[in-house]
Structure 1
Amino acid sequence: MTVFFCVGSEKSGTTLLARMLDQHPEVACLWESYAFRPGSRASIFNPDSEKWRRHGFSESDVRRWSRIWNAQPQAFFRRTLNRLTDNSLFTTSCFRQTMPPALADFARRCNASVAGDKWPGHIRYLDTLLSVFPDVRIIYNVRDPRALWNSAQRFKDRRRGDELLNLMLENDERIRPHLERPNFLTVRYEDLVCETEETVRRMYEFLGCDFSTRYLRYDPQGDPYPDRWNWVPEARGRIDPSHAFKWKETVDPADIARITTTASSFMDHHGYGR
């Protein structure tokens, strides 16, 4: 089984990217497992979460996986060991015992030979992903910083533009040393929505899958677990290329100039014009 993870930053378009991958009949993609936050209400490893039900996991498996994570040493001892060893042995051990069987189970139920997880937060655990899955494929989703800022600023009027822009730049520094490896693929949101066919073809080839234009259309009738997506409007609707450039109409010129200066290295590296 080929394993992949979709990583990036919030508001960079990872949900749409994951949906396009999952539409391939050989691919099964979890929607944000929150695997490294097993206590979160969004984690598939939390029995109190609805997330595992949306993916069809059995309660007995989830409770067993939860016990593995909850058996970690107390936080003080865990932090002390982390400082001494420069890594989280317990986190890696728990992930190794829970994520491979979860992906294998999901792939089996979806009749897929390729399985993965879309969660931007995985970008903070690259060493663990590479340790547990040595042959893993990593798809890194990036977006024009001005567009990401605009989306984060306007989403539910939360005004998180600067926060998520800075987080995106931190994440990019974290992953950039890995990007020349053959098992890492960078996908720009703008290419996904404006040159969908060619971009999706490239992603499928990266995962060792064939391509057909019929895989570009989402059909909930053929989705064994449509509840993963049905509450996320962007995951079910048609692809609208205009979303890539809305920022040009709504972002103040002063903010555009400031963002461009702040993110200049990112923009140069990923081919975004000034």
Structure 2
Amino acid sequence: MNEDLTIFFCIGVQKSGTTILARILDQHPDIACMWESYAFKPRLKASIFHPESDSWRKHGFAEADVRRWSARWGGRPGAALRRLVRRVTGTDYVGMIQFRHTMSPALADFARRCNATVVGDKWPWYIDYLEETMQAFPNARFIYNVRDPRGIWNSAQRFKQRERGDEILQEMLQRDRFIAPYLSRPNFLTLRYRDLIRQPEKTARRLYEFLGCEFDPAYLVYDPAQDPYPQRWSWISQASRPLDPWQTEKWRVEVPAETQARLTAESRWFIEKYGYDK
């Protein structure tokens, strides 16, 4: 692993705007951001470490490397033993070691191909492996994204007609309680989806400064022709479109009033904590 590289991870919960966050980061010429590696889930076909996945192809990895990384994960002890170790110690040490030995070369390779000095991965579920990720990359920086509870409910409820609003909202609230003790650390940055969309220049300045990069308004304009791997964003159609402030407000129109009242009551502490309108 190139010791000069700055490593970061975008974390939070699905539907909170992490894909837009990743794209804005990736638009900076010195920053390269992978899109949902599923690194801790190597047996899922969504993982860049699964030879049958199309994710590694979308990121330009060599098949030989992917097969070598997959074999490394395949050689770890059984799930029962890993669960026992994690229950006793609070950390999946085996998974952490495998993650470090596979993600380090993956990040370095992606940074090299993108001519980047700052490289990271956007995968909200890193929050479930926070200790393992911090131990594998002690100097890593973490960007934690949050969204208005009513907005995330509306997005999760409507996305591909899956109606997962209540599930994803509770996920966000539970994870925020979990991560709260970490957020005051200097290597953690918290931002709101609303600010990312409605105040992109101000928010991007914070992001780039946090990663040690300079700001230029030109970096806020997405040009697929300048993106070496634009197919990364294909899962979320809005990811390659211009930022639209309506995305932060449409829940007020699309969510029934009685549902808005229920969601506000259930997440009042979160709304107050992050300064959203009641």
Q: TM-score range by the shorter chain?
A: over 0.9
Which amino acid is 1:256 matched to?
Q
> Match of 1:19?
23
> Match of 1:207?
211
1:176-195 to structure 2, matched below 5 A, reads 176-195=180-199
Q: CA deviation at 1:82?
A: 2.5
> Match of 1:113?
117
RMSD: 1.0
Q: CA deviation at 1:78?
A: 2.2
Q: CA deviation at 1:112?
A: 0.1
Which amino acid is 2:144 matched to?
Y
Which amino acid is 1:85 matched to?
T
Q: Does 1:49 align with 2:53?
A: yes
Q: CA deviation at 1:231?
A: 4.5
SS in 2 for 1:48: coil
For structure 1, which segment, 264-273 or 33-42, has the greater mean C-alpha deviation from structure 2 after superposition?
264-273
Tell me, which stretches of 5 or more residues in structure 1 are unaligned?
A: none
> Match of 2:104?
100
Q: Does 1:124 align with 2:128?
A: yes
> Match of 2:220?
216
Aligned equivalents of 1:23, 1:159: Cα separation in 2:
32
> Match of 1:88?
92
SS in 1 for 2:39: coil
1:35-46 to structure 2, matched below 5 A, reads 35-46=39-50
Aligned equivalents of 1:86, 1:15: Cα separation in 2:
29
SS in 1 for 2:261: helix
> Match of 1:144?
148
1:221-260 to structure 2, matched below 5 A, reads 221-260=225-264
State the identity as a percent.
56
> Match of 1:28?
32
1:4-15 to structure 2, matched below 5 A, reads 4-15=8-19
Aligned equivalents of 2:218, 2:186: Cα separation in 1:
28
Aligned equivalents of 2:132, 2:80: Cα separation in 1:
21
Q: CA deviation at 1:253?
A: 1.6
Aligned equivalents of 1:49, 1:87: Cα separation in 2:
27
Q: Deviations over 1:35-72 (max 9, x none)?
A: 01001111000001000010011111111111111111
Which amino acid is 1:236 matched to?
S
Q: Deviations over 1:11-38 (max 9, x none)?
A: 1000001000000000000000000100
> Match of 1:70?
74
Q: Give the TM-score normalised by the residue count of structure 1.
A: 0.98
Which amino acid is 1:67 matched to?
A
Aligned equivalents of 1:212, 1:82: Cα separation in 2:
44
Aligned equivalents of 2:235, 2:95: Cα separation in 1:
30
Q: Does 1:174 align with 2:155?
A: no
Aligned equivalents of 1:93, 1:99: Cα separation in 2:
10
Which amino acid is 1:118 matched to?
K
